[in-house]
Structure 1
Amino acid sequence: MIAQPYHLYVEKIDASKNMARYYAMSIEPTLFGDTCLTRRWGRIGTGGQKLAHHFQCEEEAVELFLALLRQKRLRGYGSKYNSGQRMVG
């Protein structure tokens, strides 16, 4: 069972480069009792791509979640509410 919910949605928007990307992650239990880290990414407004990682224990999923979060922050991704851009929709 998951001790606490882990959900993340960040965006990277640069109008000068016509860039509008999103990155989303969540950790959830599977029907079989494992832990699944699901990642979704792509251009804002599209379905994008999806990748799922399955783990035996929640701690491993949280470690990957935090590592990916650090990586995305270093690459300029941020909260859609703190990016200085007004989002429509």
Structure 2
Amino acid sequence: MHLTKTNPDANLYRYYHMDIVKGLFGDWGLVREWGRIGSSGQLRTDWFETEHDAKGARFALHMTKAKRGYD
């Protein structure tokens, strides 16, 4: 899932990218990358016991980002 937030008047060009990945030991990861469009940004992985838990966390983050103006 790839989200962006832009406002040329404020020189605001941001992105937020989320992926669900399967781990080596049967766990599931939510990989997040964010930063300014055109830069490498920051990367973080949060691990969950089930795919359902990872998808729930992704949905919650998506709703938070949507409230902050990402689309």
TM-score bucket (shorter structure): over 0.9
CA distance in 2, matches of 1:41, 1:77: 12
3-state SS in 1 of match to 2:14: strand
Runs of 4+ in 1 over 4 A off after TM superposition: none
Normalised TM-score (structure 1): 0.77
Residue identity matched to 1:13? T
Aligned pair partner of 2:47 in 40, 46, 54: 54
Q: Secondary structure at the match of 2:52?
A: helix
The structure with the larger Rg is: 1
The alpha carbon displacement at 1:67 in A equals 0.4
Question: Counterpart of 2:37?
Answer: 44
Query: Percentage identity across aligned positions?
Result: 41
Please tell me the root mean square deviation across aligned C-alpha atoms, in Å. Answer: 0.7
Alignment partner of 1:22 is 2:37: no
Structure 1: give runs of 5+ residues left out of the alignment.
Answer: 1-7, 79-89
**Counterparts of 1:1-89 in structure 2 under 5 Å?**
8-78=1-71
For residues 31 and 46 of structure 1, the distance between their equivalents in structure 2, rounded to whole angstroms, comes to: 29
Q: What is the deviation of 1:22?
A: 0.1
Which residue is equivalent to 1:81?
Answer: none
Aligned to 1:5: none
Structure 2: where are the runs of 5+ without partners? none
**Bigger helix share:** 2
Distance in 2 of aligned mates of 1:56 and 1:67: 17
Q: Which amino acid in 1 is paired with 2:29? A: C
